[in-house]
Amino acid sequence: MIYIAKPEIGDEEIHAVNQVLKSGMLSQGPKVAELEKDWAEYCGTKHALAVNSGTAAIHAALFATGIQTGDEVITTPFSFIATINPIIMLGAKPVLVDIDRETFNIDSTKIEAAITSRTKAIMPVHLYGQPADMTKIQDIANRNNLTIIEDSCQAIGAEYKGKKAGNLGSLGCFSLYATKNIMCGEGGIVTTNDDEHAKLIRQFRQHGMSGSYQYEHLGYNYRLTDLQAAIAVEQLKKVDKFTKARQDNAEFFDEHLKNVSSIVTPNPTSDRTHVYHQYTLVISDKCRFSRDEIVKKLKEQGIVAGVYYPQPLHHIEHIAKITGRHPGDFPITEELTKKVLSLPVHPMLTPEDRETIVGAIKEATGE
Ligand SMILES: *Cc1c(COP(=O)(O)O)cnc(C)c1O
């Protein structure tokens, strides 16, 4: 089977974990500090704060922004549910905006119409590893005094006009979950250039603690372990190598699938880099088979394709309830949830795997 994701764990990661075990410093210790330093340097931000998931990173970033009951945060219905749940966890309301068909990211031309007197932040998601339309989003945020929180969970290393994801707004959120471009099982990072945001996130991840058993506000236990940080430190050293392998795989698929008329291959925008967390095809109306039929046929040939995401977020009950949105409200998202399909593009693919995938797609689409 060729799986959609396969973490690459080398001797370096294993050795680093062993060292932590022998050191006895297991949580929020020197390895977490090392990871934060390296991550900030990599993204070009002043701070990086480690937490124990991407969801916690988004929750902490929203908290640091001051999001509270009654506030509104603009984001997209075409994402993983963890983009939206933390907004609801703070008692705020997600306000959804449809996506751009070409990039799968929030349609920047539709953001302004969604702004109200309660809007506090915009959270673009750099979906599949390609940054959203940041110049336009920054312009809208500046004119309306809004904070930008990037959901960069799929976009470590992606650049927009030469600047890295996580440094394109006020706060950037990353995930180190097992299937992400670099990982440590579970983990998350928030990046920021703002000292006050950094201070609030440090407190938030530790019960709101500001000094020795002094508590300034509500907080959680969102600490990362040193065992995980040790893995992430080693993975971060390899991130550019992994990204290059993903981009090479993507280029191979672009080249070998360009004549398959019933699918549309990704079409990255020239002012940004795509780190291919996913290589996502759109099955066109010309195809004789449905997306779900193609997924099934690929599986029969030993390839696990992914569907990200099979359901628009506003179709999920608790989100429909709080947003007041219904099927039909975001037609592009709704259409694409039925047509997208992601191929394995991870760095562990062999040259034979790539050939197998191309052959299987041609076979499954009947071309
Ligand atoms: C993975 C992911 C998250 C959440 O990260 P976890 O580490 O799984 O909590 C949030 N948003 C997007 C777009 C993601 O891909």
For 228-278, what is each residue's pLDDT tens digit?
999 999 999 999 999 999 999 999 999 999 999 999 999 889 999 999 999
* Residue having the nearest C-alpha atom to atom 14 of ligand 1: 153
Decide: 142 and 169 in contact? Cβ < 8 Å.
no
Please give the share of the chain, as a percent, with pLDDT higher than 70: 100
Contacts of 140 (CB under 8 A, 6+ apart): 108, 111, 112, 115, 122, 146
* Residue having the nearest C-alpha atom to atom 2 of ligand 1: 153
What is residue 112's three-state secondary structure?
helix
pLDDT digits (tens, 9 = 90+) for 274-305: 999 999 999 999 999 999 999 999 999 999 99
Residue 367 pLDDT > 90: no
* Residue 162 burial by Cβ neighbours in a 10 Å radius (0-12, 13-18, 19+): exposed
Contacts of 145 (CB under 8 A, 6+ apart): none
75 lines ligand 1 (CB under 6 A): no
pLDDT of 185: 97
Q: What is the mean pLDDT of residues 350-362?
A: 97
CA 180 to ligand 1: nearest atom = 1
260 CA to centre of ligand 1 in angstroms: 32
Residue 359 pLDDT > 90: yes
pLDDT digits (tens, 9 = 90+) for 12-47: 999 999 999 999 999 999 999 999 999 999 999 999
pLDDT of 138: 98
Decide: 286 and 262 in contact? Cβ < 8 Å.
yes
191 lines ligand 1 (CB under 6 A): no
CA 179 to ligand 1: nearest atom = 1
Beta-bridged to residue 185, according to DSSP, are: 177
Calpha distance 132→116 (Å, rounded): 22
Which secondary-structure segment (H or E) carries 164? strand 163-164
Task: Count other Cβ atoms within 10 Å, centred on residue 286.
Answer: 9
187 CA to centre of ligand 1 in angstroms: 10
Ligand 1 pocket: which of 81, 83, 275 to mutate (most atoms within 8 A of CB): 83
Ligand 1 pocket: which of 153, 222, 235, 308 to mutate (most atoms within 8 A of CB): 153
362 CA to centre of ligand 1 in angstroms: 31
Sign for the pseudo-dihedral over CA of 233, 239, 245, 249:
positive
The first and second tokens of residue 180, run together, are 């992400």
Task: With CA atoms as reference, report the closest residue to 9 among 184, 239, 176, 237.
Answer: 184
The first and second tokens of residue 341, run together, are 């399909």
Calpha distance 319→322 (Å, rounded): 5
Residue 334 pLDDT > 90: yes
Residue 364 pLDDT > 90: yes
82 CA to centre of ligand 1 in angstroms: 6
Q: What is the mean pLDDT of residues 181-185?
A: 98
Decide: 256 and 345 in contact? Cβ < 8 Å.
no
287 CA to centre of ligand 1 in angstroms: 31
Angle between helices 351-365 and 291-300 (to 10 degrees): 130
